[in-house]
Structure 1
C-alpha cells in the first residue's frame, strides 16, 4: 500500500515549450507533488527515479519483504537487467505462487522476496495476460526502457485508485488527484473554476459520488477498474479494458446444493488465508454484520491474537458497538471501540474532504476515518468485508424485482398509465411508490445504490442544470453489457461498476490511507467472484432475506446472533444531527460562507436546511450531498478553507 506518481514528459519538437531545459524542474515538481501523499507511504517517503522521458515519485508503506523491496524498483531479464522500472501500489496475494511459476517456466531470477518483482517479471514473460493472473489489489506503472513506453494498470474491481492527466507538457498518472493538480502547470491543464466538469458535478449531486472515469476537474480522469493504459512521450493514453464482471448463473439442484455452499466456504477460506500474508500485524474491522464477522472469524484461524475494531456514536440507536463486541467475544478476538462525538465529527470534515480528492456524500466515511485512526495505533493492516453485497446479493433493493414481478406481465402502455395515476397521489400514501416504480423499466428506475435528487429537486438547487446530463450517461452502457441477464444480476453489475468503485472502495482506500493503514478486502478476489458469479437468483435473494447462499455457507463460521441480521454497516445519525447541535451550526456556516453560489442556489439550500431543522421535511441526504460539495469547493477551488494535515506518525511500534 503506497503512493505512486509517474510523469511522462513530452519530447522535443512537440507542444512542450522547452522539454530539455524543464527536466530538472519536472523532477523537483514531482518530488513536491509526491510529498502531498506522504500519508500513503511514510515508511520510505520521497523515492524517485528519472529517465530520459519519465520521472517517478514514490512513498512506501511496507508490509512484505520490508528490508529489500524498495521502490521505484528496477528489474529485467539476465540479458537486460535494467530494462524496467516499477512503481506499485497494492498487494499481490498469490505472489509466491507466481514467482515459483515464473522461475520454473521462464527461468526468472528475483533479487527480493516481495510481490513487486512478480508483476514486472510476469509482464515481461506474459504481457498483459499477467493482469488476469494477479490475485490482489493494485495500481502500478511500469516504464519499459527498451520500448520507451509506460504501462499502467488497475485491479479488476478498482480497489486501488489511479488518476491520469494529459496536456502539452506530457502525461502524469498518480495515486491521488491532489498530486496531479499540483502538477497542472507542468502538464498544462486548468484547475480553476473554469476547469470544473459541470456534467460530473451533476452526476455527483444525483449519485453522491463522481462516477468513473470522471473527476470534478475536466483535466483529470481516472483509469477505470479492470483497465490498462499505454502511454508514450507526446501521446495520449491508450486505454484497454481487460476485465468485465459477468454473472453466468448455474442452476442449483437438491443434489448440488450443499456442494455449492461448501465451494463458497472453501474459496473464502483460501482468500482470507492469502490476504493474511504480511510481515506485520493484521487486524480486522468488525461492524456487527455478517460480512465483516465472517472475515474476522476466518482471519483468527491464522492469527489467534487478532484485534478487531468498530466505531459508534454518542446517540442511542445509531451504533452497532454492542453487537460487534458480542461477535468479537464469540470468535475469541480482542476488541477495540472508538466512539465519535458530534464535535469530533465536524472538526474532522475539512481534513477528510482533502484526503478524498473528489467529494463523496456518504456519511459513513467519517466513522471509517476515525476507526482507521484508532486501528493504526495497534496494527498496520486490517481486513474488511467490502464487496460481499455486490457479489452475493446483499442489498435489500435486490429483492425489488420479486415485488414488482406482477408488473412484468402488463403491456407497456398499461404500466405507463399506472405511473401517471401515481403522480397526483399524496407523498407517503401507501402504494404510490409501488405504482410509480412498477411503471418503469429496470433501466429507468435503478441508478444504483444511491440517488439523492430527482430531476425536479435538482433543477431547484443546481444552477446550470441540464436535462441532457442524466444517470443514463453512466448506467446505459452497463445495462447494454448485461442485456439478457436476470434483473438481480443486472443490478449487481450496475453496483459493481458504479457504487462499489465510486463510493465504497473510494472511502475505504482514502480513509485508511489517510491514517497510513492498509485495508484488504478478501471478498473482492477473482476466485471468490468466480464462485459468486455462478449463483442463480434463488441463491441470492428470497422474499425474506438477502445473500441466501452466503448465509448458508457461513452457518458453521459466524455466530448465530449475526447470521441473519439486517445490514447496517456503520450507521451515522446525520438526520438527527442536522436538526440540533454543532452540525447544524456548521451547516449554516458552510452555506453562508460558500463561494459556489454560481453553481448551487444558496437560498434554496438554506430553505432546505430550515425545513429539515424544524422537522417539516427530511432533507438530510440531499443536504449532506450539497454541503460536502461546498466544503470541497472551498478547499480545492476557492481555497478559503485550508485543512490542518498532520504528518503521518506511528503511535506505537508495529
Structure 2
C-alpha cells in the first residue's frame, strides 16, 4: 500500500525538488521508503508502506530494457498465478511483488488485457519511455483514489489532491459549483472536485496521456441481472465466494487484523478471517458505543479485541485534521470513529479487513424500501414488487398522494420508480432548501436530477427498482463517500484497509441475486445473513444496520460544542458562502431541541472546517491527544 504522484511538465526545471515536496505531502500513505523517476517529460514519485516483499518491493519498478516504469498503490490478490503465466511467456522478474506482475502483464497483454485478468484494489501509473506516454488505471469499484489536474501540456495525477498544492504551477481555487450539491449529498458529488480543474478518474476506468492529450476509457462496470437460481444455490455461492475472497485478502508479509462493529458485515468478515487482533471504538456517550457488543462477539469467536473510547472533546479537537486528510469535505459522521479506529489498529498491525460494500451489493440499506418493522407491511411490499412495472408505478402515484399512514412510505418505495424518489443513501438538504441557505455565486450548479441521471440512464432498461438503486449507490455514495473515507482515514494512520466484499468475483455472484432473496419480510440482506449463519451467533446475523453511530445530536445539545460551532458560523469568511443569520437560526433551533436538523448543521460545519484548513489557515492541523480509555 502506497502513495503515488506523477506529473508531465516539460517546462519545469527543478523537477526533483518539486517532486520531493509533493511526495512528502503524502508521506502518511507510505512512511517506510520512497522512490522516483525523472526525465525531461515526466516525474514519477512513490511513497511505500511495506506489505509484500518487504526487502525488494521498492518502486518505481522497471521492465527488462528499462523502457517502462511503474508506480502502484494497492494489492493484486491473484498475482502469483499471473506471475507464473508471465514467467512461462519469457518475462524476467527482479522482485516478488504484485507491482512487477502489473508491469510485465501490461507488456504482455496491453492495458485492457491486463485489467481483465487482475483481481484486487489498485491505482497505478506506467510510463512508456519509447512512446513518451503515461498510462494509468483505477480499480473496478474505486477503492483506491486517483485524482488529476490537466492544464494544457501540464498534467498532474496522484493518490491525494493535497500533493498537487506543492506543484508551483497548480492553481488552488475553490470549485464554486461543488457546494450546493454537497449540501444535499454530504460528499463531493460532481465529477469535478472541490478544487477547480481537479477531477477523479472513476472506478473501472483507465487513462492515457501524451502530448497534452488526455483520454479516459471505461473498462469495467457491474450489470445486475437475475440469474433465476434457487435460494439454496444462491446462499451456497455467496458463502463460497466470500470465503474465497477473505482468504485472498489475507495475503500479506505483515500481520492482518480486522475492524469489528456490532453489525453483520464486519462480523462475517472477522469470523472467516480469524485474525490475531480485532479492533473497535466507541464514544463516551454509551448510546453510541458499539465496542461493547464487538468485544462480546470477539470473545464468542475466541479472538482478541482491542478497543478504546473516544471522548467528544478528542473528536472535536481532531476534526480539522480529519478533514485535512479527506482532501474534500465529507459530512458523513462515521469518518470520525473510523479515523480513531484505524489509529488504534495501527499500534498492532499494518493491514486491516473491513466490511464496506456489503450494503450496496446485497441490498442492506433501509432506503431500498425497508421502512417498516411490520411483518404484514413487509409481506405486502414484497408482493407488490412482483407486479408489472406500469401497474406498480400507477399504484405508487396513488400512494404518494394519500394521507400518511403506517407503512405508506414502505409501500410507496416498494412500488415507485427509483428515479422518482431515490438520490442515494445520503440526503441532507433538499435541493431548493440548500439554495436558500447559500449566497448567489454558490447557487449555480448541476441539479440533483442531472447528477443522478448519469447513473440511472445506464440502467434505464432495468425493471427492478432495487437494482437501479444499488447501481446508483455503487457509483455515487459508495465510490465518493464510503470508499474514499475508508481509504483516507486508514492511510492517514499508515494503514492498509482491505474490503473483501468489494471483489469482482463477489460482485459477479451478488449481481445476479434476485431482489426477492435480498429484501424479504424477515430482513434486508437476507441471503447474505443466511450464508453467515454457519459462522455467527443468531443475534449478530439478524441485527439491523447501525453504521458507525456518532453522537452528533448530543454534541449539538452540549453548550460547549454548540458554542464552538456557532462561533465558527459567525466568522467573517462564512458570509461569502452562507446566509449567516439563517444558519445561526438553524443551529440555535437544533441546540434548543426545536428542530431535528442536526445533520444539516453538521454538513455546514464540516464544509467550513475543511475550507478554513485549506484556504484560510493553510497549515496542516496537528493531532491533539485526548484522554481515551479502554
Which whole-Å CA distance do the structure 2 matches of 1:439 and 1:455 have between them?
24
Q: Aligned residue for 2:427?
A: 451
Which whole-Å CA distance do the structure 2 matches of 1:582 and 1:133 have between them?
55
When residues 282 and 212 of structure 1 are mapped into structure 2, their CA distance, relative to the original with a 3 A threshold, is farther
Q: Let me know the Cα RMSD of the aligned residues.
A: 2.4
| Equivalent in 236, 243, 261 of residue 269 of structure 1 | 243
Q: Aligned residue for 2:125?
A: 141
Structure 1 position 474 matched with structure 2 position 456: no
| Equivalent in 233, 238, 259 of residue 285 of structure 1 | 259
Tell me by how many angstroms 1:622 deviates.
Answer: 0.8
Which whole-Å CA distance do the structure 2 matches of 1:384 and 1:213 have between them?
27
Q: Aligned residue for 2:418?
A: 442
Deviates more, 1:553-562 or 1:291-300: 553-562
Which whole-Å CA distance do the structure 1 matches of 2:468 and 2:399 have between them?
24
Do 2:120 and 2:503's aligned partners in 1 also have CA atoms closer than 8 Å? yes
* Unaligned 5+ runs, structure 1: 11-18, 647-654
Q: Aligned residue for 2:69?
A: 85
Q: Aligned residue for 2:374?
A: none
| Equivalent in 351, 361, 366 of residue 321 of structure 2 | 351
Which whole-Å CA distance do the structure 1 matches of 2:48 and 2:398 have between them?
60
Do 1:311 and 1:570's aligned partners in 2 also have CA atoms closer than 8 Å? no
Q: Aligned residue for 1:66?
A: 54
Structure 1 position 177 matched with structure 2 position 177: no
Tell me by how many angstroms 1:198 deviates.
Answer: 2.3
Which whole-Å CA distance do the structure 1 matches of 2:30 and 2:500 have between them?
22
**SS where residue 561 of structure 1 aligns?**
helix
Which whole-Å CA distance do the structure 2 matches of 1:592 and 1:443 have between them?
38
| Equivalent in 519, 529, 545 of residue 541 of structure 1 | 519
Offset from partner CA, 1:518-576 (integer Å, 9 cap, x none): 10001100111111111011111113311111111111112222010001132001012
Q: Aligned residue for 1:463?
A: 439
Q: Aligned residue for 1:220?
A: 198
Question: For residues 103-502 of structure 1, what are the structure 2 equivalents within 5 Å?
Answer: 103-104=87-88, 106-128=89-111, 129-168=113-152, 170-183=154-167, 185-187=168-170, 190-191=171-172, 195-211=173-189, 213-233=191-211, 235-253=212-230, 257-300=231-274, 303=275, 306-400=276-370, 402=382, 419=400, 441-464=417-440, 466=443, 469-485=446-462, 486-502=464-480
Do 2:393 and 2:417's aligned partners in 1 also have CA atoms closer than 8 Å? no
Please report the TM-score for the alignment, with normalisation by the length of structure 1.
Answer: 0.89
**SS where residue 339 of structure 1 aligns?**
strand
Which whole-Å CA distance do the structure 2 matches of 1:482 and 1:518 have between them?
33
Do 1:289 and 1:567's aligned partners in 2 also have CA atoms closer than 8 Å? yes
Q: Aligned residue for 1:597?
A: 575
Deviates more, 1:200-209 or 1:405-414: 405-414
Offset from partner CA, 1:43-101 (integer Å, 9 cap, x none): 004x211022000111100100010010111123xxxx201111101111111111012
Q: Aligned residue for 1:651?
A: none
**SS where residue 68 of structure 1 aligns?**
coil
Question: For residues 615-654 of structure 1, what are the structure 2 equivalents within 5 Å?
Answer: 615-639=593-617, 642-644=620-622
When residues 299 and 421 of structure 1 are mapped into structure 2, their CA distance, relative to the original with a 3 A threshold, is closer
Do 1:204 and 1:210's aligned partners in 2 also have CA atoms closer than 8 Å? yes
Which whole-Å CA distance do the structure 2 matches of 1:421 and 1:268 have between them?
43
Please report the TM-score for the alignment, with normalisation by the length of structure 2.
Answer: 0.92
Do 1:212 and 1:224's aligned partners in 2 also have CA atoms closer than 8 Å? no
Structure 1 position 33 matched with structure 2 position 22: yes
When residues 437 and 330 of structure 1 are mapped into structure 2, their CA distance, relative to the original with a 3 A threshold, is closer
Aligned length: 611
Tell me by how many angstroms 1:439 deviates.
Answer: 9.8
Offset from partner CA, 1:261-291 (integer Å, 9 cap, x none): 2211111111111111111010000012111
* Unaligned 5+ runs, structure 2: 371-380, 625-630
**SS where residue 331 of structure 2 aligns?**
coil
Which whole-Å CA distance do the structure 2 matches of 1:407 and 1:341 have between them?
52
Do 1:404 and 1:438's aligned partners in 2 also have CA atoms closer than 8 Å? yes
Do 2:361 and 2:510's aligned partners in 1 also have CA atoms closer than 8 Å? yes
Q: Aligned residue for 1:652?
A: none
Do 2:399 and 2:408's aligned partners in 1 also have CA atoms closer than 8 Å? no
Which whole-Å CA distance do the structure 2 matches of 1:442 and 1:472 have between them?
12
When residues 592 and 108 of structure 1 are mapped into structure 2, their CA distance, relative to the original with a 3 A threshold, is same
Which whole-Å CA distance do the structure 2 matches of 1:575 and 1:452 have between them?
15
Do 1:419 and 1:439's aligned partners in 2 also have CA atoms closer than 8 Å? no
Deviates more, 1:505-514 or 1:310-319: 310-319
Offset from partner CA, 1:14-56 (integer Å, 9 cap, x none): xxxxx2xx33x232112111101110000004x2110220001
**SS where residue 88 of structure 1 aligns?**
strand
Structure 1 position 75 matched with structure 2 position 51: no
Tell me by how many angstroms 1:642 deviates.
Answer: 4.8
